[in-house]
Chains A and B, each alone.
Chain A
Amino acid sequence: MIQDLVVSLVYMAYAIGLMLGMATLFTWVERKQSAVMADRIGANRAYIRIPFTNIKLVAWGLFHGIADGSKMLLKENFTPNTYDRFCYNIAPWLATVPVLLLFAVIPFGGTVYPGHLLDTGFPVLGPFLSEFFGDRSYSMQVANLDAGILVVLAVSGVGILGTMLAGWASNNKFSLLGAARASAQMISYEVTMGLALLSLVVSYGTLELGGMVTEQSKLLFGFLPSWGLFYQPLAFILFLTAAIAENKRAPFDLPECESELVAGFFTEYGAMKMGLFMLSEFIEIVIAAALLVTLFLGGYSLPYLETTGFVFPFGVSLALPHLAVVVLQVVTFLAKVFLAGCFMIQIRWSLPRFRYDQLMDFGWKFLMPLAALNLVATVCVRWFLTRG
């Protein structure tokens, strides 16, 4: 039992660390990538001076995230005169916590045998691990739920409450308009997202995210990795669009468009409360990227990597120790999530924004029917295939 607890705690620490770290990294990536795209330099002034020397570590502006975070923590906690105290204070948390919870069901690695990680010949740690864990195996996932994808949809729906409360409670017309837009947009794009996910569920035959990744680690025609992208290309595009719209970022940033609504639903928030909204937005990028990777891009699975090592289709195989396989899987997942997030940021800085009526038209009249059609087509194909 104590072993399970230890493993769960390690997983939770890893999940939260990964999300916060990635979100902070993405604030930097966003600034730097948009700068490089526009022939600019980007953030490069924050530095850490090594004590007692005059050596300043700039590291391409990586410390800007730390500087921004500490600035927001130290700022005055300004509140408007007339506001609903309870709702106003709870709204940032309602926006952040569901996003943090979402990662619980996403697998970030395959099955791990902690007792077999290190060779027993390894000094101190090797014998200890194998004695403590024995032959136990754990799937690398905080919560291995059977209803994984339903949990994703349910919990991400709670996030809307945060934005709505923020708009209502701060007693400001811009906030209210932003919140109204945000809730309308998120609810309409959730429909598309749900339908796209449903067609995926039909084609995989499971609701469990870990099971989906196992399905995707097989090979198609003997050489192509059987990623969801190749099974459901339309669902991939629909899901990507809906995920960006859920993030409330350009080209779907109607809820917080600066030119009309100051800052949208968090106009009246300052200091770290605003920081929490910002952070939740960037964690949402990480979550959306992680979901995209898990559902469509093979999750943690590297093509041709089995649990014993690489097995290439042309008959060459390379045996690897368990530790190397686990590390490879974790690193693959991180790299895929990072690249998917960078792609979303590229979209955010490339495409112009929709008008509000165009946004609603696009969601309800174009994406929703497409997703429904895709679902029907998937079901038909599935039905013909299973009938024999």
Chain B
Amino acid sequence: MKRDYWNKPSMGLWERLYIFEVLRGLTITGKVFFGNMWKWVTFRKGALTAYYPEEIRSDYSPNNRGRHVLVQREDGKPQCVTCNMCATVCPAYAIEILSAVDSGDEVHPKVPESFEIDYSRCIFCGFCVEACPEDALRMAKETPDFPGFDREKMWSSQEELMSWQPAQNPAKTYPEASAGRGVQP
């Protein structure tokens, strides 16, 4: 015996004639089509999708994690002390750091010779920013120039990470330094 399902459609004569329902369906899709075409003719955008690399969607979260920023000291040197904690915590192994000695600076003798992030592997988890003890690495909201055709060209160099300017300072707002903890210059 053939069972009837709970959602068995009950069609009247109108629906069973089929042709009128076909016309109704065509009217619905046709309305959307001509509406969108009219928008296009009058130089407005009909589609809901964005042309991705050329056009950034407007509804990014205000705390979106985008491209990294290497923070600089007042003298223009990177704040990074090459402790390698970010590279260690990185689950995607996307960070490569090479240390160098800066004998001119007694307070910060270790400086990065190169600090590179592979954006073809980065998963934007933000662990590196969490791990950084020096607040040398931050993440901006913006995501400029990510797409590309060549994997080799998706490495971001130290100069690039230091020189690009996000619209807003991505720093976290800290509470005022308390009396007990002095901040090194």
Which residues of A come within 8 Å of B, CB atoms?
33, 35-41, 44, 237, 346-347, 349-351
Contact = CB atoms under 8 A, between A and B. Distances in A.
A266 to B, nearest CB: 28
Contacts, number: 42
A40 B29 contact: no
Given A237-B19, A351-B22, A39 B29 contact: no
Nearest to B19: A237
Nearest to B31: A37
A36 B48 CA distance: 10
B26 A350 contact: yes
Contact of B47 (A39, A349, A350, A351): A39
Given A347-B26, A350-B25, A351-B22, A39 B33 contact: no
> Does more than half of chain B's interface fall in helix, strand or loop, or is it mixed?
helix
12 contacts: A33-B33, A36-B33, A36-B47, A37-B29, A37-B33, A37-B36, A39-B47, A41-B49, A41-B51, A347-B26, A350-B29, A351-B22
A35 B29 CA distance: 11
Contacts of A44: 51
Contacts of B19: 237
A350 B23 CA distance: 10
A255 B19 CA distance: 23
Contacts of A349: 29
A39 B36 contact: yes
B162 interface: no
Interface in B7-56: 19, 22, 25-26, 28-30, 32-33, 36-37, 40, 46-49, 51
Contacts of B28: 350
A77 to B, nearest CB: 28
A39 B33 CA distance: 8
A33 B37 CA distance: 10
Interface residues of B, number: 17
A351 B30 CA distance: 12
Nearest to A349: B29
Nearest to B37: A36
B49 A346 contact: no
B25 A351 contact: yes
A37 B37 CA distance: 9
Nearest to A362: B18
Contacts of B32: 36-39
Given A36-B37, A40-B47, 16 more contacts: A33-B33, A36-B40, A36-B47, A37-B29, A38-B32, A39-B32, A39-B47, A41-B47, A44-B51, A346-B26, A346-B30, A346-B33, A347-B26, A350-B22, A350-B25, A350-B28
A15 B47 CA distance: 36
The 6 closest A-B pairs by CB, nearest first: A350-B29, A41-B47, A39-B48, A37-B33, A36-B36, A350-B25
Nearest to B32: A37
A40 B48 contact: yes
Nearest to B22: A351
B25 A39 contact: no
A36 B39 CA distance: 11
A174 to B, nearest CB: 28
A85 B25 CA distance: 45
B123 to A, nearest CB: 26
Nearest to A39: B48
Contacts of B51: 41, 44
Interface in B39-89: 40, 46-49, 51
Contacts of A39: 32, 36, 46-49
B44 to A, nearest CB: 13
Nearest to B28: A350
Given A237-B19, A346-B26, A351-B22, A40 B33 contact: no
A116 to B, nearest CB: 40
A350 B32 CA distance: 11
Nearest to B39: A36
Nearest to B36: A36
Contacts of B29: 37, 346, 349-350
B164 to A, nearest CB: 23
Nearest to A33: B33
Contact of A40 (B22, B30, B40, B49): B49
B24 to A, nearest CB: 10
A39 B36 CA distance: 7
A373 B22 CA distance: 22
B46 A36 contact: yes
A203 to B, nearest CB: 21
Nearest to A60: B40
A237 B19 CA distance: 9
Contacts of B40: 36
A39 B32 CA distance: 8
Contacts of A40: 47-49
Nearest to A36: B36
Contacts of A36: 32-33, 36-37, 40, 46-47
Contacts of B37: 36
Contacts of B22: 347, 350-351
Contacts of A351: 22, 25
Contacts of B30: 346
Contacts of A35: 47
A224 to B, nearest CB: 22
